Chain A
């Protein structure tokens, strides 16, 4: 083999050196040339698109009347898994790399009866869109005429709260732009009598647009679009999945039970823990009257609020965050935390700490509601309040212990109760998703949290002041796990 790479001598096995170099130049030059445009005037169709004949029956001929709206209809019998709709959405909308607003998943049974069904899914253009309801800056608009849920890309601050709110994983974050983008049912195409990209591209005509009545009962009761997805009452999705086959009761998403680690959302983790720590310390200030503690409380609060800004893809647009206060708990949280910062600072110039405590309590209440409002079972009112409230109480007790040794017992107990609750959740349903996420997907994180908490309880005995740092660390771990292990509502994946 060593002879292979050796430099050649001048000897050539042939005598075409000159021709060859000319030919080489010729073919290289030829390769670099693109053919001239081949479209002719005969192909210049100014009028109707060539695909119109195909999709004419798949879209309505008229606009929705009052009380109606556009909706996707998917014929499952015709959805056979080619996934052209996903690629077409990407190409016909000029989206980034892997960006597409349509996905295809699979429903199947694990055991007899044998069943498998691919499911194409995009935005369901809900009657009561959770994304819009959660948006702090009103970057969503449900079109009054068409019912299309449109996203205002230039309004979006990239907080990604809509991604937590939507139970169908519709809004997708675009890292390049720092905002989310989503399906608008190709409203520009529909407006011109053309079909949306996915409708045009489905070889079997499985996807269509229909005009449906708003406020239909089927979308308010406890129905689900498909097995395993969220109850439709949450957002009242308008998409209809129709099939001639009965979906077996045992059908589930092909990826059901697959452990999926979600984003930690570190800025939110820091913000939540530190604002709650701040509230706890303000309570200690108010109760103990030790005003030097207020410096710590304000420190926590300022760092926490500053961190939250890092969560935004477009922070310069964030001044509009008050706009959504009527419906969005996030908007309310932002407003109240603004007040909290003010009331907190005021303690340094002599205001009573109870002001900060009062506003802070409302703020933490809003924080709780931000997550409860996503309807994720792991983030229920009980589970979230225990965690967020537990953090407040733990810091409050620890701060008290710092100024008054008699509180050490209470501080240890407060931390112990919170840890005990978390452990109980893990023991309760040991084969459940929540436990498996902790022990199988994130065992190191889980052990660090548990052992760390015990360590901090020990440290509290020796030095409550030092334990504060420890408590911040292990509470950050707890909160990161809160985000990373959550089971999200979504459409079937594969």
Chain B
């Protein structure tokens, strides 16, 4: 019998669709349709903040939703939009599901045969040195170690590097030269404990929102200085914005150091006990009388003085830098200029201090220590015989298998392809067909390869489309392993979702290749991520990054992540201190145990604006919802709606008037190397003579200039000369 319909339906199927129910597990209410039967923990696989996530699982153990982990010491229950949407890219329907040979689907057996046959053929013709690999900061520590070991010890490659070269090489090099080891000294608690925070070339408010959260939690009413040519979201929240001219930050830091000397605020005691090279640095600083450099830096005396005042007044000054520093033609020296400033004022080794590099990718730090690319596993040195012996012994391999020379850097490998020295390339979880500086130099190089393999979760990335052989990889969330975050914290990520089709964890792919190549025996112990992790703890023994005290994944998970070092003798209470910093004893990892002052005469812009290309192009992150080349973030409809739907070029109104352009006009940004179309956004946040493009559009790197820091070999994405043309 039909009942008479109510005049107003307060309930019904559509209403019930949105009902919330207690999620249990401390989650509070969750959508009733996605109520978890259990939860697993993971570390977010996007950036190096390393947020803990709680993955909601259904009865089959399959992930259905994700929320930030309220108990994880890094993010305290928060995540940026990428973290909230971490699962969505896994479920996009364009995942790679089978290996592809020249775009044609094949089985794994055939793919592995081709992989071995072709690489052996290339090696037979041109020698083992003619094959190389380029990897990533996005896969797990254990996978990185496997890849580097397989390629170098197993397959005889000499050259291999990671895309971390594009973001972190400068920080690693700067620390290594100054401290004797690639050792970012800080812990995130320092954000909360400073009374003065200096951000250089970074926009953490949108690039690292969860680190910014820690700044916002600072109860000391801190002064926040933002050194950046643009008035970013972070600069807007700062107490002082120092709009330094692009790439003049190195001069600014030398001038500030000069000012510290002049004002007599040097921490003589610390400098004497814990550093070397200070006298030479003082002599060098004589040329940096601030007044002489103000106009070059584009700063007023008032702003400079105020910046110096704040740093002098601060009792706990921390300085944080990101890509604005790391990606420059003199990047290492710029980072070291920051380190020098901290050393001379004694702002290191105490709570709320430090020259602190904010890292980019989720496992950039793992790559820096364990990828076996630039350095031998565990921060060791390929050229050091003792190191080679030690690693060979721990891994149970013949020492002869370990190369005795350092690898080429990323740009040198690409140059090697152009020069005909590299003929076979294996690329894992990275997309230089989009992201490589002066992009064409990469895409041209690939055409010269005799064999090019791309291993990725998608077969349709700009780079994968160029591959002869594509290998489908399982993604974050479909495998297990550890990441190391920016504050040296190991975190464990679990397998929570099924991989599509025949996609396999990178770890499994490496196992298969080792076996197919015929070096399976060498990796007999490498059967699971955790078994490899245990090997690495042994490799790290005695190193600054000693993690021999970590007993497996469960211990990491139960501790809320563990920062290195963690030696066997670390007491439980020591571990309980969830946040630890380095150099509290004033002893560094150099042979003399002193930190080095390192400095060099500043070099001007490699491509100055001129009459033909009158504007300076800056690049950077567009929004919190976009990750690098967007291979993953563009798969989420929610993330897509959080950024502009077309490429916007930020321009200053005075430049626009000069060009006869206005808001919303369609233009071409043209450099000597290429061009990209964009729409004008007139904004007060960019200075006259400069324009800004977010880096995520695939055409932006057609314009950028291929310059590299001579010390770190990191590309200088941030500044090149362009002109703007109207598209009619």
Expressed in whole angstroms, the minimum distance between the Cβ of B97 and any Cβ of chain A is 12
A259 within 8 A of B: yes
Q: A84-B80, A115-B684, A181-B18 are in contact. Are A92 and B67 (CB under 8 A)?
A: yes
A113 within 8 A of B: yes
B625 within 8 A of A: yes
A115 and B237 alpha carbons, distance in the complex (Å): 11
A49 and B28 alpha carbons, distance in the complex (Å): 5
| Interface 9-residue window, one of B55-63, B144-152, B328-336 | B55-63
A83 within 8 A of B: yes
Expressed in whole angstroms, the minimum distance between the Cβ of B684 and any Cβ of chain A is 4
Q: Is the CB of B12 within 8 A of A153?
A: yes
A249 within 8 A of B: no
Q: Is the CB of B78 within 8 A of A201?
A: yes
Q: Which of B7, B8, B515, B685 contacts A116 (CB 8 A)?
A: B685
B95 within 8 A of A: no
Q: Which of A44, A200, A204, A258 contacts B28 (CB 8 A)?
A: A200
Residues of B within 8 A of A28 (CB): 108, 502, 504
Q: Is the CB of B70 within 8 A of A50?
A: yes
Residues of A within 8 A of B571 (CB): none
| Interface 9-residue window, one of A5-13, A325-333, A405-413, A457-465 | A5-13
Q: Is the CB of A80 within 8 A of B206?
A: yes
Residues of B within 8 A of A113 (CB): 684
Expressed in whole angstroms, the minimum distance between the Cβ of A449 and any Cβ of chain B is 24
Q: Is the CB of B495 within 8 A of A154?
A: no
Q: Is the CB of B495 within 8 A of A35?
A: yes
Can you list, as one digit per residue, whether each of B442-478 has a CB less than 8 Å from chain A (1) or not (0)? 0000000011000000000000000011000010001
Q: Is the CB of A45 within 8 A of B681?
A: no
Q: Is the CB of A93 within 8 A of B31?
A: yes
| Interface 9-residue window, one of A16-24, A61-69, A229-237, A272-280 | A16-24
Smallest Cβ-Cβ distance to A319: which chain B residue: B5
A202 and B75 alpha carbons, distance in the complex (Å): 12
Q: A44-B25, A116-B685, A155-B8 are in contact. Are A81 and B520 (CB under 8 A)?
A: no
| Interface 9-residue window, one of A188-196, A286-294, A415-423, A479-487 | A188-196
Q: Is the CB of A153 within 8 A of B14?
A: yes
A84 and B233 alpha carbons, distance in the complex (Å): 15
Expressed in whole angstroms, the minimum distance between the Cβ of A327 and any Cβ of chain B is 15
Q: Is the CB of B81 within 8 A of A27?
A: no
Smallest Cβ-Cβ distance to A115: which chain B residue: B684
A12-48 CB contacts (< 8 Å) to partner B: 12-16, 19-21, 23-24, 27-28, 30-32, 34-39, 43-46, 48
Q: Is the CB of B512 within 8 A of A23?
A: yes
Q: Is the CB of B117 within 8 A of A8?
A: yes
Residues of A within 8 A of B10 (CB): 152, 154-155
A138 and B66 alpha carbons, distance in the complex (Å): 36
Q: A31-B499, A38-B494, A153-B17 are in contact. Are A8 and B110 (CB under 8 A)?
A: yes
Interface residues on A, range: 35 or more
Smallest Cβ-Cβ distance to B28: which chain A residue: A49
Q: A90-B84, A203-B212 are in contact. Are A31 and B109 (CB under 8 A)?
A: no
Smallest Cβ-Cβ distance to A139: which chain B residue: B8
B624 within 8 A of A: yes
A295 and B436 alpha carbons, distance in the complex (Å): 70
Can you list, as one digit per residue, whether each of A112-128 has a CB less than 8 Å from chain B (1) or not (0)? 11111110000000000
Q: A5-B101, A24-B109 are in contact. Are A203 and B12 (CB under 8 A)?
A: no
A1 within 8 A of B: yes
Q: Is the CB of B642 within 8 A of A83?
A: yes
Q: Is the CB of A37 within 8 A of B37?
A: yes
Q: A110-B682, A323-B8 are in contact. Are A13 and B117 (CB under 8 A)?
A: yes
Q: How many residues of B contact A (CB 8 A)?
A: 115
B551 within 8 A of A: no
Q: Is the CB of A77 within 8 A of B34?
A: no
A350 within 8 A of B: no
Residues of A within 8 A of B296 (CB): none
Q: Is the CB of A23 within 8 A of B511?
A: yes
Residues of A within 8 A of B76 (CB): 54
Smallest Cβ-Cβ distance to B474: which chain A residue: A31
Smallest Cβ-Cβ distance to A188: which chain B residue: B20
Expressed in whole angstroms, the minimum distance between the Cβ of A139 and any Cβ of chain B is 8
A86 within 8 A of B: yes
Smallest Cβ-Cβ distance to B12: which chain A residue: A154
B172 within 8 A of A: no
Which 6 A-B residue pairings sit nearest by Cβ, starting from the closest? A94-B31, A154-B12, A37-B38, A49-B28, A82-B209, A98-B637
Q: Could you show 17 A-B contacts with beta carbons less than 8 Å apart? A: A8-B114, A14-B518, A19-B515, A31-B508, A34-B498, A37-B61, A39-B40, A80-B212, A84-B81, A87-B79, A90-B638, A92-B31, A100-B638, A118-B233, A153-B14, A153-B17, A203-B212
> CB within 8 Å of B: which residues of A?
1, 3-5, 8, 12-16, 19-21, 23-24, 27-28, 30-32, 34-39, 43-46, 48-52, 54, 77-78, 80-84, 86-88, 90-94, 97-98, 100, 104, 108-118, 138, 152-156, 177, 179, 181, 186, 188-189, 192, 194, 200-205, 254, 257-259, 317, 320, 323, 494
Further 20 A-B residue pairs, CB within 8 A, beyond A94-B30, A152-B9: A13-B116, A20-B109, A21-B109, A27-B512, A31-B504, A31-B508, A37-B37, A37-B61, A51-B28, A80-B206, A80-B234, A87-B84, A90-B638, A93-B31, A104-B642, A110-B663, A177-B14, A186-B20, A189-B28, A200-B28
